[in-house]
Amino acid sequence: MSDAPARAQQFKLASLTLGVFLPTFLFSIGQGAIIPIIPLFAKDLGASLALASLVVAMRGVGQMLSDLPSGLAASRFGDKRTMIGGTLLMGVVAVGAALSGSPAVLGVLVLLMGAGWAAWQVGRLSYVSEMTPIDQRGRALALVGGANRAGTFVGPIIGGFLGKAYGLESAFYAQAALALLAALLMLVAIRKSSFAPGQDGHGAGGRMLATISDQRGIFLSAGLPIMALQVLRQGRQIFLPLWGDSIGLDVAQIGLVYGASSFIDSWMFYPVGHVMDHWGRKWTAVPCLLLLSLSLLLLPLTTEVYAFFLIALLAGLGNGLGTGIVMTLGADFAPEGRRGEFLGVWRFVADLGSAGGPLAVSFIVGIASLGLASVASGGFGLLGAAALWLFVPETLRRNQPHVIPATAPPAPETAAEKRP
């Protein structure tokens, strides 16, 4: 775009505070508040342990199924409307969940929660991609990731307190109130709702298929590392508590170790964004994959609390290095004319890894052992790191012309042409 250099000079990260960062924090508090409540509430409604687990899983299913429609919505109706629509859907569904009288009804509503989350994510990413210059995008999206991590850290504490003091339903009402507040902030703070209506003769389905076809090289090369990262992240959440239990640690010890790992993870967002914007995306993405992979490869070798603690810290460091990387790469690769469609597919690929990772772990544990599942996940992560390093282009260098300062001196031949 011709105005990109001027926009790069004028844009300030603080301009996203009310429209993106604060709503993300509020939205994530609400999500964090209900995540541990959902299985407990399902059990109170009469669900078995297996059925309660299925109800929890419906959120991920709903998110994955709604990624592509959310991308189409962002292009058809605009980023702002998609974000606000997804947020309001979450609020309405949360009230319905609080009033639900059976596990089946709760499961359907949790599925719709996932749909709202998908719309919020895709719309938000599309908006930040449009508004943020390439040389500040890493910091912007790392801050989004940091706000999300902070919200999901605070949310379970609030949800647990509300559930104990006022009943499990109160956590859902809190989520609805926070979603409404986030929607109001976006309504007021976001002045623009960018969209790219189809002008190429394709309908919505045709535009999506054309985007997949035109961008298939990116999806094939970058899809594997992104899926590997999501598998590693899910594996970290599964293997650390289960392996800690297998070596004889009690719940308090496991919680303390996992909390320390999450603490390191949560506070790395700004330096990671700075590195992405100044050195390149691969400088954080490749180490993230390597350290997470190494932690899962070494985890089965631990037999006592101190080694387990060090491995957990290594996993937290690795995950922290990946703060915002999925969003940043998606924003960098997204073509302007079909940004919404591309980001919908991009989120689908990432969520496929999130949903498929636990299923693969469950299968390997069932036929072999927990240790082998951890090693297999780590090996897949190493494969993803190699693919990212060798086959995925560095997006910061590729898009460098978009951030040339407006004050750059003219080329010599241009100056010569202007002489009388």
In sequence order, what DSSP letters do the residues of 21-41 get, joined into one string? IHHHHHHHHHHHHHTTHHHHH
Q: Is the predicted pLDDT of residue 66 greater than 80, yes or no?
A: yes
Dihedral, CA of residue 302, residue 304, residue 308 and residue 309, to nearest 10: -150
Contacts of 250-256 with C-beta under 8 Å, sequence gap 24+, read 253/305
* 403-414 mean pLDDT: 36
Q: Note the pTM of the prediction, 2 decimals.
A: 0.81
Q: Is the predicted pLDDT of residue 382 greater than 80, yes or no?
A: yes
More confident residue, 253 or 128: 128
Q: Look-up: residue for tokens 């999506």? A: 208
Domains and CATH numbers, the chain: 1-188 (1.20.1250.20), 204-407 (1.20.1250.20)
- Express each pLDDT in 85-121 by its tens digit: 999 999 999 999 999 989 999 999 999 999 999 999 9
Distance CA 37, CA 159 (A): 7
Q: Look-up: residue for tokens 């990109």? A: 4
2-35: b (≥16 Cβ within 10 Å) or e: eebbeebeebeeeebeebbbbbbbbbbbbbbbbb
Using alpha carbons only, how large is the chain's radius of gyration in Å? 22
Confidence of residue 419 (pLDDT cuts 50, 70, 90): very low
Among 71-75, 171-175, 264-268, 358-362, where is mean pLDDT lowest? 358-362
Distance CA 181, CA 314 (A): 37
- Express each pLDDT in 250-301 by its tens digit: 877 887 888 888 888 888 888 999 999 999 999 999 999 999 999 999 999 9
* 334-362 mean pLDDT: 85
Among 55-69, 275-289, 304-318, 404-418, where is mean pLDDT lowest? 404-418
Q: Is the predicted pLDDT of residue 343 greater than 80, yes or no?
A: yes
Distance CA 241, CA 363 (A): 18
State residue 415's pLDDT score. 40
Q: Is the predicted pLDDT of residue 54 greater than 90, yes or no?
A: no
More confident residue, 359 or 287: 287
* 28-33 mean pLDDT: 88
Contact 103, 365 (CB under 8 A): no
Torsion sign, CA atoms 117, 119, 120, 122: positive
Q: Is the predicted pLDDT of residue 358 greater than 80, yes or no?
A: no
> To 5 degrees, how large is the angle CA 136–CA 137–CA 143?
95
Distance CA 94, CA 277 (A): 37
- Cite the DSSP H helix spans in 14-133: 22-34, 37-44, 49-77, 79-99, 103-131
How many CB atoms are closer than 10 A to CB 244? 23
Q: Is the predicted pLDDT of residue 403 greater than 60, yes or no?
A: no
State residue 183's pLDDT score. 94
Q: Is the predicted pLDDT of residue 57 greater than 90, yes or no?
A: no
Distance CA 404, CA 297 (A): 43
Q: Is the predicted pLDDT of residue 4 greater than 80, yes or no?
A: no
Residue 144 CA to its chain's centroid (Å) = 9
Contact 346, 215 (CB under 8 A): no
Contact 340, 207 (CB under 8 A): no
Q: Which residues contact 352 (CB under 8 A, 6 or more apart)?
A: 64, 227, 230
Q: Is the predicted pLDDT of residue 407 greater than 60, yes or no?
A: no
Confidence of residue 38 (pLDDT cuts 50, 70, 90): confident
According to the per-residue pLDDT averaged within each range, which of 5-9, 160-164, 395-399 is highest? 160-164
Q: What percent of the chain has pLDDT over 90?
A: 48
SS3 7: helix
State residue 399's pLDDT score. 46
According to the per-residue pLDDT averaged within each range, which of 118-127, 151-160, 359-368 is highest? 118-127
Distance CA 162, CA 264 (A): 27
Contact 378, 357 (CB under 8 A): no
How many CB atoms are closer than 10 A to CB 252? 8
Contact 73, 340 (CB under 8 A): yes
Among 67-71, 131-135, 144-148, 203-207, where is mean pLDDT lowest? 203-207
- Express each pLDDT in 197-247 by its tens digit: 544 545 666 778 888 888 889 999 999 999 999 999 988 888 888 888 889
State residue 203's pLDDT score. 64
Q: Is the predicted pLDDT of residue 312 greater than 70, yes or no?
A: yes
